[in-house]
Amino acid sequence: MKLTDAFGSFDSLSVVGAGGKKTTLYALAGECTDAVVTSTVRIPPFSSHVADVVVSDDPVAAVRDTDERPLGVVAGTDGDRHIGYDPDAVDELIGATDATVLIKADGARTRRLKAPGDHEPQLPRTTDLVVPIASAKVVGKPLSGEIVHRPERVAAITDLGIGDEITADDVAAVLTSRSGGLKQLPESARAVPLVNMVDARRDERAGREIAERILASEPVDRVVLARMDRRRIVDVIS
């Protein structure tokens, strides 16, 4: 199955959460025929994953004037990170281009599960698909800052204590909470949770359990299980 088919139709897609946001963006960009990768938050340099990266304060002009695809567009550079755009600027870009716009809308400091901070996510209002991501590998691990970004916020969603074992129910709760993966979901947008890092049978069992919990309680039409570093869809559960 193609990666793009797994998520259903979309013209713009925003990734949030933890456990493979950038990998997911780059995998999707490699499959789309006309893709633009951008961000509303800081993002590490990614020129090796796209044909070109343009630094510009005008993303609409940058995309219009550059033929290379997939194309990265960012607002600037600060040290070892690119600077993202204000969400309103990405809304303008979405409305001005026929390209598929792929957006990183929060950060997780390489952790595998997260709940957003007060200022997150930075979602464009007109994004039509939001993909909250978590790693299957957190199931069975203790809730700690080593694998979870903002563990205290995850604890508030799940009623876990720091050090308690994370279950599939907990991951499902974080992915679908309005204080978690569905925070600030635009009214017109779909949400398709992604359970990533499904590398082994244990991970697949955990992923399927997470998906079952999500579909039993939330109005989403599918949950994707994948290994995005290999650009491989394990299953789409609906």
Q: What is the pLDDT of residues 18-45, one digit of tens each?
A: 999 999 999 999 999 999 999 999 999 9
pLDDT of res. 199: 96
pLDDT of res. 3: 96
pLDDT of res. 217: 86
Residue with tokens 């991970």: 203
pLDDT of res. 218: 79
| Interatomic CA distance for residues 133 and 114, integer angstroms | 9
Long-range contacts of residues 175-179, Cβ cutoff 8 Å, at least 24 apart: 175/17, 175/132, 175/134, 175/210, 175/214, 176/132, 176/214, 176/217, 176/218, 176/220, 177/115, 179/115, 179/116, 179/153
pLDDT of res. 230: 97
The token pair at 127 is: 């994004």
Q: List, for the chain, all residue ranges whose pLDDT scores fall below the cut of 50.
A: none
Global pTM exceeds 0.75:
yes
Domains of the chain in start order, with CATH, are 9-237 (3.40.50)
Residue 20 Ramachandran class (φ > 0 left, ψ -120 to 50 alpha, else beta): left
